Amino acid sequence: MPESVEKVPIKLKVNGRLHALSVEPRMLLVQLLREELDLTGTHVGCDTTYCGACTVLMNDAAVKSCTMFAVQADGAEIVTVEGLEKDGQLHPIQKAFGDSYGLQCGYCTPGLMLSALQLLSRNKQPSEKEIRKAIAGNTCRCTGYQNILKAIQLAAQNMKGA
Amino acid sequence: MKEAVTMLAQLGDDAKLLAGGQSLIPLMKLRFASPQHLVDLNFISGTSYIKEENDALSFGALTRHAEIETSPAAAKIPIVHDCAAGIADVQVRNRGTIGGSLAEADPSGDWATVLMTLSTEVRCLGTNGSRTVPLRDFIKDAYTTALGHDELVSAVVVKNPPKGSGGAYLAFKRSAPVYPTASAAVQLTLDGDVCNDAAIALGCVGLTAIKAKEAEAALRGQRINEKTMAATIEAARAAADPQSDMRGSADYKRALVGALVKRAIEIAVQRARGERVEVSHIYA
């Protein structure tokens, strides 16, 4: 591996804020978010494209940020869990996860909420089957998923008309 | 695309193409691949499309699985929709590409298995121009294709199946993000009760997707009944060449192949008769 790698300038919007920075081409998007921008809500679980703890939205599509290079997000709009809350108000998805006990240790929760956000922004009234499919790429080792399903159903209800 | 090919040629063996990255990046983390240079195809415009032309469906190499999953044009060939909608999970389907999947030639990949049951051609672009390779000649071995070092996949062209044809793709998986334990793709053409043509491919049970030719022969020209079905399943199980691994023993996978082929034939028959049948993979 080369000792020093030439950095690449990139510009990207994260949670509505424009950032211009220089990154090593081998840096992963999740490292950029956590280590350069200090947005540590996005977690690294398995680091093998399995668990989905690192899920963020890139241009409105859920992606595993451990399986993308930061330079690939040049020009993109990223939403992380820190971008869900608006003006001190929890996002309906965040509120529903709390109200439905959709989390225990909370490690997988940011990723699950971003997967839920992709689903609910494209499908206002998802069936249980559709919810299950939408979160199939997010592993939770605590809840058994039942309350996560309830949380997303509740969020869908509360987001109606929004 | 031409620029990417030129870069590949200049950088030599230390360079790799980066498409969706959903296999390559994990392989790099494990140091199974350690390219010194990556040529990222994602910023090249016009490489992601689904076009209906000349009685065929053309996919740009960088077309994401998710785009195929939601494409009304792709839904006209139900087995193609089955494949796209069942690959891994939402996040992986949002990034992973059809061209990248074929070019990687993972023995457990879904696209090669499915597209082997259809008339599929792979468009390859190299420094010496472009050429078209039938899929059966494109996949050479596990992780090995007909692509030269300075070549890339530019498009995948799938001929529309004839009238009276129906297909289905089923995989058995332990969970969504993992590769299937085994999978089966079946495309049948019916004339009344008689099966005029049959294509059967098996995934994850050999070094490449396996075309189960004797299983196809057991159906071709026959009525589909208990007897011909049993012969087909037996031949499909014999065609499988599975390895015992963490996903299951070889015997288990062979048994699984039989069950998957049976179900896929049943759904393919329904679809060939014009019925709408929704398919989802089977989870352990």
What CATH architecture does domain B45-159 belong to? 2-Layer Sandwich (3.30)
B32 touches chain A (CB under 8 A): no
Looking at chain A, which residue has its C-alpha nearest residue B173? A136
pLDDT tens for each residue of B91-113: 999 999 999 999 999 999 999 99
Nearest by CB: A137 against B38, B43, B91: B91
A8-83 folds as Ubiquitin-like (UB roll) (3.10.20)
Q: Which two tokens stand for residue B12?
A: 């030599």
Please give, rounded to a whole number of angstroms, the shortest distance from the CA of B153 to a CA of chain A: 20
Q: Which of A64, A54, A103, A75 is nearest to A9 (CA)?
A: A75
How far off is chain B from A62, nearest CA to CA, in Å?
A: 5
What average pLDDT does this structure show over B203-219?
98
Mean pLDDT of A130-156: 97
Domain ranges of chain A: 8-83, 92-159
- Please, what is the angle between helix A109-122 and helix A92-99, to 10°? 120
Task: Tell me the fold of A92-159.
Answer: DNA polymerase; domain 1 (1.10.150)
Q: Which two tokens stand for residue B189?
A: 């053409």
pLDDT tens-digit series, residues B118-156? 999 999 999 999 999 999 999 999 999 999 999 999 999
pLDDT classification of B262: cutoffs 50, 70, 90: very high
Q: Which two tokens stand for residue B10?
A: 């200049």
Tell me the domain boundaries of chain B: 45-159, 165-274
* Distance separating alpha carbons of residues B51 and A37, to the nearest angstrom: 40
Does the pLDDT of residue A2 top 60, yes or no? no
Q: What is the ipTM of this complex?
A: 0.96
Please state, in angstroms and rounded to a whole number, the distance separating the CA atoms of residues B156 and B141: 19
- Superfamily (CATH) of domain B165-274: CO dehydrogenase flavoprotein, C-terminal domain (3.30.390.50)
Q: Which two tokens stand for residue A33?
A: 């978010």
pLDDT range class, residue A3, cuts 50, 70, 90: low
Residue A160's pLDDT band (cuts 50, 70, 90):
confident
Average pLDDT, chain B: 97
